[in-house]
Amino acid sequence: MGELMVEKHVKFILAVEKRKDDFESVVMEHLRLNGAYWGLTTLDIMGKLAAVEQDEVISWVMQCQHESGGFGGNIGHDPHVLYTLSAIQVLALFDKIHVLDIDKVSSYIAALQNEDGSFSGDIWGEVDTRFSYIAILSLALMHQLDKVDVGKAVKYILSCKNVDGGFGCTPGAESHAGQIFCCVAALAITGSLHHVDKDLLGWWLCERQVKSGGLNGRPEKLPDVCYSWWVLSSLIMIDRVHWIDKGKLVKFILDCQDKENGGISDRPDDAVDVFHTYFGVAGLSLLEYPGIKPIDPAYALPVDIVNRVILGR
């Protein structure tokens, strides 16, 4: 079996962070704050966060904040909970959550909760259980969960539970691994995991492993490194991770590395990107790969950071 090419991945991530004017970065510009979270978290769990210019990153993150309190994906972009969470997570990595106006940011998020307990992603109102997770996680990281109706938020998530044990983006929508992760993690953070049928959901999740060892997101789909995160973290949270073949999944992730230039792709021999690099390395962290810091399956941040931010130690 190959090994994780840590130095090459560090080089790849640092190059992506610096690149501002080529085609890919123009297309991806609106995603930059998400990209910063993926890249920096990957560096941190590989023990290489010191390779970035911390003050530069923080000053750029704070310039992405909109007067409403929410953050856009880049300077001058419209705010959305997706980027607001990334901003909080990046600041958490550097132990800098205190630079935020907590009241303003948490009020922005709390105002996105709807009457039925669901959350919209921004003022345009699209509703999705992804946004429930993002809002709950963001508020938890700022110790502001009491600003929303947590009971109603949990009730809405449970209304998206399906007969196969999984969860969809809205009530009645089909189960999907990404959505299951969001719902299970939101339930974990709010202490509501007892509502999950662990055996039924565990069965659906472990059936996502295909012959190559990789995991897919739904029946009949191709395996993809990003599901290493969504499926694995869900299995860990419901205590059923021993139902998959961990060794085969490690091999699948390592096979998706670009061994020349660094980075990880969705499937072996595809083009690499920072998104799959993060999910690959984070997946290896959940699989207890040697030399990688443990990552928290619900908070999607290194365990030491979660302990510091949530437990104050």
Contact call for residue 224 and Zn ion (CB under 5 A):
yes
- Site size for Zn ion (CB under 5 A): 3
Least distance in angstroms from the C-beta of 276 to Zn ion: 6
- Closer CB to Zn ion, 123 or 271, in the complex: 271
User: Hey, is 160 helix, strand or coil?
Assistant: coil
Contact call for residue 266 and Zn ion (CB under 5 A):
yes
- Closer CB to Zn ion, 255 or 266, in the complex: 266
Contact call for residue 298 and Zn ion (CB under 5 A):
no
Query: Can you tell me which residue has the tokens 């998020």?
Result: 109
Least distance in angstroms from the C-beta of 228 to Zn ion: 9
Chosen residue from 88, 100, 226, 264 binding Zn ion by CB under 5 A? 226
Binding range to Zn ion, per CB under 5 A, among 143-151, 230-238, 263-271, 297-305 = 263-271
Binding range to Zn ion, per CB under 5 A, among 47-55, 196-204, 212-220, 223-231 = 223-231
As a whole number of angstroms, the distance between CA 82 and CA 130 comes to 9
As a whole number of angstroms, the distance between CA 241 and CA 249 comes to 12
For residue 290, the tally of other CB atoms under 10 A from its CB is: 7
Contact call for residue 296 and Zn ion (CB under 5 A):
no
Contact call for residue 258 and Zn ion (CB under 5 A):
no
Q: List the beta strands (DSSP E) in the chain.
A: none
- Closer CB to Zn ion, 258 or 266, in the complex: 266
On the 0-12 / 13-18 / 19+ scale of CB atoms within 10 A, 45 is buried
What tokens appear for 124 in the block? Answer: 């345009």
Binding range to Zn ion, per CB under 5 A, among 51-59, 95-103, 105-113, 224-232 = 224-232
Closest CA to 38 of 309, 287, 281: 281
On the 0-12 / 13-18 / 19+ scale of CB atoms within 10 A, 19 is exposed
Beta-carbon contacts of 180 under 8 Å, excluding residues fewer than 6 positions away, are 166, 167, 201, 205, 230, 231, 234
- Give residue number: closest CB to Zn ion: 226
Binding range to Zn ion, per CB under 5 A, among 55-63, 84-92, 107-115, 218-226 = 218-226
Contact call for residue 44 and Zn ion (CB under 5 A):
no
Least distance in angstroms from the C-beta of 275 to Zn ion: 7
Query: Can you tell me which residue has the tokens 């309190």?
Result: 69
Which residues of the shown chain bind Zn ion in the complex (CB under 5 A)? 224, 226, 266
